[in-house]
Amino acid sequence: MKTFTIAVIAGDGVGTEVIPQSKRVLERIGKKHDVNFAFQDFEWGAEHYFRWGRMMPAGAIDLLQSCDAILLGAVGHPEIPDHTTLNGLLLPIRRAFDHYANVRPAYLYPGVQSPLAKARGGDIDFVVVRENTEGEYAQVGGFVYHLQPDEVAIQTSVFTRRGIERIVRFAFELALKRNKRKRVASITKSNAQGFSMVLWDRVFQEVAAQFPDVSTESLLVDAAAMNFIRRPESFDVVVGSNLFADILSDISAIIIGSMGLAASANLDPLRRFPSMFEPVHGSAPDIAGKGIVNPLATILSAGMMLDHLKMADAAGEVEAAVAAVLAEGKVRTPDLAGKSSTEEVTSAVLEKLA
């Protein structure tokens, strides 16, 4: 029997509630497909920070390195500044393993109500591809006269030709693989940011020329935000910088009905390192501990992990089970106007898998 070693970082808040649910699903699908998932749990995050002054230990990356994939819940705690939690765990893992492609599908499942009045199931079906290792999240900068009345903060974005080229190429290849509208939208703000985003536009045009079967559009980020609401059905693959695609993928998450349905993959497409799979949502302290968080974003993220591990059939079964539960509309957490618990939703998915 094949065994995959999965590093599991449940993290904080609702992360500790959704991760056990995705494990239940993986165990069930593993049995069906004669695959064993050996979970290695790492108790990193806010509690680790309170005890040791850091979100994960110094040797964390080495510990993760030998795993086949990483499953992450959420990071963030109301008593720790967000820049400490994010820069202490999630962002260093993405950089260490060169997870340059952050893939965030946006699909409106039949039976789910979008806040957009006209959208029906299946109408929204696109993927946001986020550059995930550089750009605005490169953490280059510093303070001058720190904490003094005249303090200065400098935060520099880093855009490299190599970094842009590889993420744009990934987006075009994905458009071909999806084989749907075969359309890539590139998002910048090159009217205002005359260096980094101009380089992005130029590289985008160069890569686009190598994909004559894929149509393109270039949008300023403000127009893209508007068009995600106005004409979401027109998008197929959307590629943008670390910050822009992070923000846009919150819009895409909410127009498909709930942040609790938004899955994501942090991929090293070259497969040198373990890739990481996580729901787009954070630790949600307002609902943590109540047993009502929607587990489906994490379950769908685990499905993306199966696909990455070359278990495409199993991935398809997980997605179909989630789709069936959503289409029935009987078992739902409160974010989807239901009354069911996190565990009940997972049990409904498991029933469909059976």
CB of 198 to ligand GGG, least distance (A): 25
Of 12, 246, 268, 335, the catalytic one is 246
In the bound state with ligand GGG, the residue whose beta carbon lies nearer, of 76 and 121, is 76
In the bound state with ligand GGG, the residue whose beta carbon lies nearer, of 194 and 289, is 289
Q: Is 352 a catalytic residue?
A: no
Using alpha carbons, list the distances in angstroms from residue 169 to 68, 106, 172, 208. Answer: 25, 20, 5, 8
CB of 264 to ligand GGG, least distance (A): 8
- Contacting positions for ligand GGG (CB under 6 A): 72, 74-76, 86, 246, 278-279, 282-283
In the bound state with ligand GGG, the residue whose beta carbon lies nearer, of 278 and 319, is 278
CA 311 to chain centre: 19
Rounded Cα distance between 135 and 101, Å, is 13
207: part of which helix (H) or strand (E)?
A: helix 196-208
Distance from the first to the final alpha carbon of the chain = 20
CB of 326 to ligand GGG, least distance (A): 21
In the bound state with ligand GGG, the residue whose beta carbon lies nearer, of 246 and 317, is 246
Q: Is 180 a catalytic residue?
A: no
CB of 329 to ligand GGG, least distance (A): 26
Contact 200, 185 (CB under 8 A): no
CB of 176 to ligand GGG, least distance (A): 26
In the bound state with ligand GGG, the residue whose beta carbon lies nearer, of 121 and 295, is 295
CB of 251 to ligand GGG, least distance (A): 14
In the bound state with ligand GGG, the residue whose beta carbon lies nearer, of 223 and 247, is 247
Of 41, 82, 222, 313, the catalytic one is 222
Q: Is 268 a catalytic residue?
A: no
For the chain, list the strands marked E by DSSP: 2-11, 35-41, 69-74, 101-107, 125-131, 135-144, 152-158, 183-188, 215-220, 237-240, 263-267, 275-279
Contact 167, 188 (CB under 8 A): no
Of 68, 123, 250, 307, the catalytic one is 250
Of 189, 236, 268, 335, the catalytic one is 189
Q: Is 250 a catalytic residue?
A: yes
Is the four-CA dihedral 194, 196, 199, 200 of positive or negative sign?
negative
Q: Is 189 a catalytic residue?
A: yes
Q: Which residues contact 159 (CB under 8 A, 6 or more apart)?
A: 134, 135, 195, 196, 197, 199, 200, 241
Is the four-CA dihedral 229, 105, 244, 80 of positive or negative sign?
positive
Please name which of 335, 185, 330, 172 lies closest in space to residue 256, comparing C-alpha atoms. 335
**Residues belonging to the active site:** 145, 189, 222, 246, 250
